[in-house]
Amino acid sequence: MAYADDNIFAKILRGEIPSSRVYENEHSLAFMDAMPQVPGHTLVIPKYPAENLLDVDPEYLASTIQVTQRIAAAIKVAFDAPGIMVAQLNGSAAGQTVFHLHFHIIPRHDGIEFKLHARDLEDPSVLEEHAQRIRAAL
């Protein structure tokens, strides 16, 4: 499958769709998942038209994983999370639904179950409050 530049993450990168941005640098963008599985669920994407891990430019991948690590540390603090889950899916058979490389960072707490992914949009004001908490912890 060829990269489709009309995917939602490409539109977020171009500013065509609003998002609660957490952090941005030359190669990567971190923003709140609009349909989070738990509070604090954040996505990190490269600013490179890569469908998945197998076709991203290594320079962008290096920056994106460094941003993923930095954001994960901030989420751990901001949400007082004893655990952090990082997930990255490649291809529809693996569960990928948006075909732009992305890393999910999900704070984990004992006894708090995941909501089903990609089901319910969170209130934008809640997402912005969560983004602010993460930015403050950076």
Q: What are the catalytic residues? A: 102
- How far apart CA 71 and CA 40 sit, in angstroms, is 11
Residue where the block lists tokens 């038209």: 49
Residues 26, 117: Cα–Cα separation, whole Å: 29
Query: In angstroms, rounded to a whole number, what is the distance separating the alpha carbons of residues 118 and 67?
Result: 23
103 beta partners: 44
Q: How far apart are CA 8 and CA 99, in angstroms?
A: 9
The radius of gyration of the chain's CA atoms, rounded to the nearest angstrom, is 14
